[in-house]
Amino acid sequence: MSSGTALKPIEPGSALAVALDVVEAISRAGQVVVPNRPTKAMIDAGVEAGGISRPVALKVFRAMVAAAG
């Protein structure tokens, strides 16, 4: 059953449309956008991939984000 709430189309030129265009261009350039604070899943992945502790994984994440500018 539908809740009665339909998604509205994104209006061309709206702030959302422009933001989506920017994210798409960033992706095409081979870049990604990450949060300033890593999620639990991100830290867990770093712990597993690097065989490191959670505090070290968090330090590594912060250093990488800082180095990216």
User: What 3-state class would DSSP assign to 44?
Assistant: helix
The answer to whether residues 37 and 6 touch, using CB atoms and an 8 Å cutoff, is no
pLDDT tier, 2 (very low <50, low <70, confident <90, very high otherwise)? low
pLDDT tens column, 27-52: 999 998 999 999 999 999 999 999 99
Residue 25 Cα distances to 18, 20, 28, 36, 47, angstroms: 11, 9, 5, 20, 31
Rounded to an integer, the average pLDDT of 10-23 is 94
- Is residue 58 helix, strand or coil? helix
